[in-house]
Amino acid sequence: MPDSRGLVILTGAGISAESGLETFRSSDGLWAQHRIEDVCTPQALMQNPQLVHGFYDARRAALATVESNPAHHALARLDAAWTGDLLIVTQNVDDLHERAGAQRMLHMHGQLNSTLCAHCGDQSPWRGDMPVGAQCRACGAPALRPDIVFFGEIPYDMDRIETALSQADLFVSIGTSGAVYPAAGFVRMARAYGAQALELNLEPSEGSAWFDECRHGPASLLVPAWVDELLA
Ligand code: APR
């Protein structure tokens, strides 16, 4: 009888670390090099759009130089093989899950390879640098911004995420510090609905105590091993 449990898998910057992308809260991470209030708030975009666009241009350019790692490929393999419900909810704005082949997924914090029109809300694919005041193809306004959910803004797809959490039998958190809400609260929501919770992370996260089981180590080792176990 195939395992048809419902899975919700939350990923954070730690799953992309071994691909060479910086995480946020490590000692030399992105928030050690830049102030959040300078590059990741609506006020920052208003007051210094050049700095904000430049920050995301640099991260978009870095993305073009890295590849998905065994953790991304393992989740894509699970997605393809799993007969039950499965949803990968990533906090990451990189496209490494997609490039590994993941299908059933969403980006709750937006994506580097997308642009958002601050005037009409249109979202469109975007590659390369994004000049300040670029024109929206849908409405023509010079109002294109990085399609990134800034601190103080509402993450995408919260209804879909909450529905998936309410129906999950297993919630797995991979490579996230558990420092930022609402993602940091998903484990509690899933458990309140009766799901089992597993954390796969380099070290204990801020939310480790909420998990039934925690495995600590690099995602490129832990995730393929966990997927093999699940598909055995
Ligand atoms: N394998 C597994 N986990 C790892 C690895 C690795 N190779 N390297 C680092 N980690 C873990 C770290 O131990 C840490 O717990 O990944 C986590 C990364 O935490 P953060 O840098 O805080 O990144 P994240 O949890 O994704 O941040 C959440 O905060 O700044 C906002 O919007 C931004 O989406 C981001 C959100």
Q: What is the pLDDT of residue 1?
A: 66
- Read off the tokens for 107: 């980006």
Q: How far is the CA of 173 from the centre of ligand 1 (A)?
A: 11
| Best CA proximity match to 138, nearest among 152, 166, 118 | 118
| Best CA proximity match to 219, nearest among 179, 170, 176 | 176
Q: How far is the CA of 172 from the centre of ligand 1 (A)?
A: 14
| pLDDT means over runs of 10, the chain (232 residues) | 89 98 95 95 97 98 97 98 98 98 98 98 98 98 98 98 98 97 98 98 97 98 98 94
Sequence letter at residue 169? D
In the set 72, 97, 109, 119, the catalytic residue is: 109
Q: What is the atom index within ligand 1 of the atom nearest the CA of 219?
A: 1
Q: What is the pLDDT of residue 3?
A: 82
Q: What is the pLDDT of residue 39?
A: 96
Indicate the top mutation candidate among 180, 198, 211 to test ligand 1's pocket, ranked by most ligand atoms within 8 A of CB.
180
Q: What is the pLDDT of residue 164?
A: 98
Q: What is the pLDDT of residue 190?
A: 98
Question: Does 73 participate in catalysis according to the annotation?
Answer: no
Q: What is the pTM of this model?
A: 0.98
| Residue located nearest, by CA, to atom 17 of ligand 1 | 176
Domains and CATH numbers, the chain: 1-20+68-109+155-232 (3.40.50.1220), 22-65+110-148 (3.30.1600.10)
Q: How far is the CA of 20 from the centre of ligand 1 (A)?
A: 13
**Bridge partner list, 9:** 88, 172
- Burial label, 179 (beta-carbon count in 10 A; 0-12, 13-18, 19+): middle
